[in-house]
A and B are shown apart, each in its own frame.
Chain A
Amino acid sequence: MKQFLQIALGILSAIGGFVDIGDLVFNTQAGATFGFQLLWVVVVGVIGIIVYSEMCGRVAAISKRPVFDLVRERVGFSAGLGTLIASEIVNLLTCAAEVGGVAIVLQLLSGLPYRYLILLGVIGVVVIAWVLPFEWLERLFGYVGLGLLVFAVAAIKVHPHWGSVAHGFVPGMPAHNHAVYLYFVVGLLGAALTPYEVYFYSSGAVEDGWGAKDLRINKITSVIGYGLGAFLSFALMIVAAVLFLPRGIDPQFLGTPALGAQEALGKVGLILALVGILFAVGGAAIETSFSGAYNVAQFFGWQWGKREKPSGAPRFALSWIIIFVLALGIVMTGYDPVKITEYSVIFSVVALPLTFLPILLVANDPTYMGRYTNGRISNALGIVYFILILVIALSAIPLMVITNGGQG
């Protein structure tokens, strides 16, 4: 039971990070556009995020310092500042998208006007984040977000052709639409490898007081948490491939994945899907705002942490509230949160190398890590993924322009 509660950090990171609004949108669109053909990308993405999360969890456990603290020290002020700005833009855009997502789901559940719900949603999330201790935030959003498992049941109920599903795990290229296909490859990898997940995860590890004795739980948490996220991504893609692709449905709305659960499981499926999505995007909103506040506080050397009372870390508390206020301002302009999501995912792809390189460098540095530096397998995977990250970072913008944001 204790271990079950301990892996809540990984589950929250996975539910709120791996299956946030970006994944809901990209996985459903990918399934509706290319059927099962992009399932392999989720596998590539999840291995990458497991490798880097394990690394930054280990760094946090051994050095007792979170990633951004070390980024500045390792790469210097200028490069660190560049990374900080890029990360904050991604965090803010993602937080805005998640806040908009919370309001949309509340609208689909209650029928109240969207603009009131944006305000209500932000106030609700801020109050919850203010009142609940860190471990209860992890548990509430992580475990209630498990309502998303309804998509796994739906994926079975829609009776996919399992041979074709298995074939989707083999990388390949479709006969046509190459540019759009590659855009989705980049988008799915970007949605899986979002920088805020690793910042939140490493700061969370420090908040949870991890040490060398917790390295095993770090490994388990990364694998189970993100593995679960990948499992849910498969389910979303399978449901979309079976229900939406043959009908020509192009999922542009947050309610569309829920419609898939409804078609497979009726009213109960619909409600569970909406509640799961609500807690997943709500958790992600908190993660992104905290992640933004962690980064700023750690970069400038302020007192930080949710475990601190707000009076003990006032600038940290003010930072995450400011991020919510700015996100509220963005969503209140009326810009579609799903579109914000698509842009934030592409932005995050561009910022990825700036996030992952310092982690790789620090995890290899015996000054920080002592005997816990990367082993051969971690290093090989870390380097391979870093090269992959560079490739997708360079191709993200050209693909976005060529495909008109995936429209073809």
Chain B
Amino acid sequence: MLARTLLALALAAVLLAGCGSQTLQQQSKSLKALAAEGGLLAGNAARGRSTTVFTREHAGFLLKSANSSASALARATSAKGRQLAQVAVRIQNDLERLQRSGSDRAEQQRLQTDLERIARKL
């Protein structure tokens, strides 16, 4: 009986926790995190401290997350929301370029600078 109650409660919690939509403040925080992580990854790639595969694949994971943030923000109607949507698109573009950068260190250096600038501003 106790086990069944605990299981039911746990299932309900999973559903409830998964239902929450992100506020603009949370979206901004998520974008900052993605830009900062992308900047760190690009910086390591630019200094030859990463493998091409890791840079491409990890940038891919970050990009996927940026895509879902961008889709959510595309529906925003407030000025702040639209502004964040533009930032999300810029992060998307940077991560896409990082994914394709291969061993182009100059490009990776540029992307590091841009992503870090975005992260600082958010």
Question: Chain A contacts of B119 at CB under 8 A?
Answer: 247-248
A124 at the interface (CB under 8 A from B): no
One of A10-18, A53-61, A261-269, A290-298 at the interface: A261-269
Determine whether the beta carbon of B54 is less than 8 Å from that of A397: no
Question: Chain B contacts of A263 at CB under 8 A?
Answer: 40, 44, 49
A111-B56, A401-B17, A404-B20 known; A262 vs B49 contact (CB < 8 Å): yes
A328 at the interface (CB under 8 A from B): no
Beyond the given pairs A81-B3, A255-B54, A263-B49, 19 more chain A to chain B contacts, judged by CB atoms under 8 angstroms and listed by A's residue number, are A79-B3, A86-B3, A86-B7, A89-B7, A247-B39, A248-B33, A249-B33, A252-B33, A252-B65, A262-B44, A262-B54, A267-B49, A271-B51, A274-B54, A350-B6, A354-B2, A400-B13, A400-B17, A401-B13
The 8 closest A-B pairs by CB, nearest first: A82-B3, A250-B33, A397-B13, A266-B49, A247-B36, A111-B53, A405-B17, A404-B20
Which residues of B approach A to under 8 Å, CB–CB? Answer: 1-4, 6-7, 9-10, 12-14, 16-18, 20, 22, 26, 29-30, 32-33, 36-37, 39-41, 44, 48-51, 53-54, 56-58, 61-62, 65, 119, 122
A259-B32 Cα distance, complex, nearest whole Å: 17
B98 to chain A, nearest CB (A): 13
Question: Chain A contacts of B1 at CB under 8 A?
Answer: 78, 82
A250-B38 Cα distance, complex, nearest whole Å: 12
Residue of A nearest to B16 (CB): A401
Grouping DSSP codes into helix (H, G, I), strand (E, B) and loop, the B interface class, with mixed when no group exceeds half, is helix
The listed residue with most A CB atoms (<10 A of its CB), out of B32, B48, B61, is B61
10 sample A-B contacts, Cβ–Cβ < 8 Å, listed by A number:
A111-B56, A248-B29, A255-B54, A259-B58, A262-B54, A263-B49, A267-B50, A270-B50, A350-B7, A400-B17
A175-B40 Cα distance, complex, nearest whole Å: 29
A247-B34 Cα distance, complex, nearest whole Å: 10
B20 to chain A, nearest CB (A): 4
B105 to chain A, nearest CB (A): 14
Q: How large is the interface on A (under 10, 10 to 19, 20 to 34, 35 or more residues)?
A: 35 or more
Question: Chain B contacts of A266 at CB under 8 A?
Answer: 44, 49
Determine whether the beta carbon of B57 is less than 8 Å from that of A107: yes
Determine whether the beta carbon of B9 is less than 8 Å from that of A255: no
Grouping DSSP codes into helix (H, G, I), strand (E, B) and loop, the A interface class, with mixed when no group exceeds half, is helix
Q: Out of A79, A89, A270, which one reaches B54, CB within 8 Å?
A: A270
Question: Chain A contacts of B17 at CB under 8 A?
Answer: 400-401, 404-405
B32 to chain A, nearest CB (A): 5
A50 at the interface (CB under 8 A from B): no
Question: Chain A contacts of B14 at CB under 8 A?
Answer: 343, 346, 400
Determine whether the beta carbon of B13 is less than 8 Å from that of A346: yes
A393 at the interface (CB under 8 A from B): yes
A366-B17 Cα distance, complex, nearest whole Å: 45
Question: Chain B contacts of A384 at CB under 8 A?
Answer: none
A293 to chain B, nearest CB (A): 20
B34 to chain A, nearest CB (A): 9
Question: Chain A contacts of B62 at CB under 8 A?
Answer: 253
B55 to chain A, nearest CB (A): 10
Determine whether the beta carbon of A248 is less than 8 Å from that of B32: yes
Determine whether the beta carbon of A347 is less than 8 Å from that of B51: no
Determine whether the beta carbon of B50 is less than 8 Å from that of A85: no
A311 at the interface (CB under 8 A from B): no
Q: Out of B9, B22, B26, B50, which one reaches A262, CB within 8 Å?
A: B50
Question: Chain A contacts of B65 at CB under 8 A?
Answer: 252-253
A239 to chain B, nearest CB (A): 12
A224 at the interface (CB under 8 A from B): no
Determine whether the beta carbon of B51 is less than 8 Å from that of A270: yes
A220 at the interface (CB under 8 A from B): no
Residue of B nearest to A269 (CB): B49
